[in-house]
Chains A and B, each alone.
Chain A
Amino acid sequence: MLDEIAQLDPAMIRTLFDTSGQFRRSRSGGDYVENFHTDLRLARESGPVHVGSVEEVLGAVDPEHPLPYPEPVYSAFSFDTVNTVFRDPETYTSDAMRGTFDTFGRNILAMGGAEHARYRAVAQPVFARNMTQWWIDRWIAGITDSLLTRFERRGRADLNLEFCALLPLLTITGSFGVPMDEALRLREHIEQMISAGTERADRLAASAAAADILLPVIARRRGDPRDDLISKLISESVVDEHGTRHALTDDDVLAYARLLLTAGSGTTWRQLGITLWALLNNPDQLDAVRRDRSLVRAAVEESLRWEVTDPTFFRLTAHDTTLGGVDIPAGSRVALCLTAANHDPSRWPDPDRFDIFRRVKPHLSFASGPHVCLGMHVARAEMSVALNAILDRLPDLRWDPDAPRPVLMGLHMRAPSDLPVVFG
């Protein structure tokens, strides 16, 4: 595996994953480096639900990219309102993500009701919590080991590009059976496919290019199943609306694959980076985790609560309703600000403080209700295996004193600008 990783093009890795670089900034609202938590606190203090988008409420609308929504927009900032919306899919539907049907294919993120339940049940078993060890043994542990071996004797590294970016991507492409030399190209197509600033024709072309890489793998696994994700999806069947059971079609598997690549490779990359950033900035807490590995779990949960990488999700209202005292007409877009909900002072004292010793309470970073994150156990496994291995193999890990201190940036996607560290 080391040889294959060595073949990955460093320039392409930089383009795709350098959070402070041009490509990423254009996609993640990267110029926003303001004090996110203070801005959100001020918003929440003036009411749990506001008229307007999160960007509008924070006064952070990019004049070059005005908001693309034709419908009225409302934003929720408290734990109770965000939690209520996630748990009431009849009032607040996932039709807000219907645009993905065009490019991903018909996928669970934007389905609703019985159809969502039928299709989600197909993939739930392989993402079940008791499959965590399967994911670790087959992909996560080996990839983690290879990535660290490449730089552990060098004494310094950029953990963002050399580690965090690659572990989730190679885990998901590995679980598909996509050869490593195609992993970055696949990621590039997926980026293009979901980019808001890209013409529809180019997004459809990127979706087709992703299919060109994925379809041969699906065909091979139909003939010769292996112990991997695509083989497991193929072997499952779905009950259609008439109650008849049928095997997943290639289009079903493709839609799942495009969704899993989108949902699973960018999020965990950035969340792992946020976890390391927060610990490096709190050396006493980093030290505590290093000495007592039972704290790894608390460190990952606190990172998810304190700064979830994707802070905003959306729903559309199916009928007139009232949320947090605000009347919302049918057909409105409701933006759910997870970070603001996770900093609700009625649940977490001193919420803006990163503190791995606080009492664990469920956060909303993996959402709730029927669309609760399918990959949460894989994401948590990647982050805890990574953190343990980094602490084992990079002794005395600390910021590189010769590099500028990185900042957390991005409004739609949060991540550290980079992670320059020294060790040993």
Chain B
Amino acid sequence: MTGGERLSLSVTPETCAGTGVCTFYAAGTFELDDDGRVSIVDEHGDPDDDIRNAVEACPTRSLRLGPSGGGRP
């Protein structure tokens, strides 16, 4: 992160396979619903490093950290 710019977190539940890798690395940020699909409970629910680990490790690339303001329509 440069210049204090905040990154925004987005998820794609359609491709999520319910592995729970993200909730292992960042349990305060991500949550799975009854169908095992990911959602965000708190965008800053864990230290940044933990959230980055979750995003990087998601085996289906269903998590994204990008510059804020460019969220899905």
Contacts and interface: CB of A to CB of B under 8 A. Distances in A.
Interface of A: 86-87, 117, 120-121, 124-125, 128-130, 359-362, 367-370, 372, 376-377, 380
Contacts of B49: 359-360
Contacts of A370: 17, 59-60
Interface in B1-39: 17-21, 23-25, 32, 36
Given A130-B32, A377-B24, A124 B17 contact: yes
B56 interface: yes
B68 interface: no
A151 B64 CA distance: 49
Nearest to B61: A87
Nearest to A125: B36
Given A117-B17, A130-B32, A362-B53, A372 B59 contact: yes
A368 B57 contact: yes
A361 B53 contact: yes
A362 B25 contact: yes
A377 B20 CA distance: 8
A362 B61 contact: no
A14 B5 CA distance: 59
B32 A87 contact: no
B20 A129 contact: yes
Contacts of B24: 129, 376-377, 380
Given A129-B24, A130-B20, A370-B60, 7 more contacts: A86-B59, A87-B59, A125-B18, A362-B25, A369-B60, A372-B19, A376-B20
A117 B32 CA distance: 18
Interface of B: 17-21, 23-25, 32, 36, 49, 53, 56-57, 59-61
B17 A120 contact: yes
Q: Which of B56, B59, B60 has the most CB of A within 10 A?
A: B59
Contacts of A369: 59-60
Nearest to A371: B59
Contacts of A128: 18, 20, 32, 36
A370 B21 CA distance: 12
A367 B60 CA distance: 12
Contacts of A368: 57, 59
A121 B53 CA distance: 24
A380 B24 CA distance: 10
Contacts of A380: 24
Given A125-B36, A129-B24, A362 B59 contact: no
Contact of A124 (B19, B23, B59, B61): B19
B55 to A, nearest CB: 10
Contacts of A372: 19, 21, 59
A123 to B, nearest CB: 11
A91 to B, nearest CB: 16
8 contacts: A86-B59, A120-B17, A121-B18, A130-B20, A367-B59, A368-B57, A372-B19, A377-B20
A384 B21 CA distance: 17
B58 to A, nearest CB: 9
A409 to B, nearest CB: 30
A161 B66 CA distance: 49
Nearest to B31: A130
Contact of A362 (B23, B32, B57): B57
A56 B35 CA distance: 45
Nearest to B24: A129
B23 to A, nearest CB: 5
Nearest to B25: A362
Nearest to B23: A129
B20 A360 contact: no
Contacts of A360: 25, 49, 53
B53 A124 contact: no
Contacts of B20: 128-130, 376-377
A113 B33 CA distance: 24
A135 to B, nearest CB: 13
Contacts of B59: 86-87, 367-370, 372
Contacts of A121: 17-18
A124 B17 CA distance: 8
Contacts of B36: 124-125, 128
Contacts of B21: 362, 372, 376
B54 to A, nearest CB: 8
A124 B60 contact: no
Given A125-B36, A129-B23, A377-B24, A362 B60 contact: no
B13 to A, nearest CB: 14
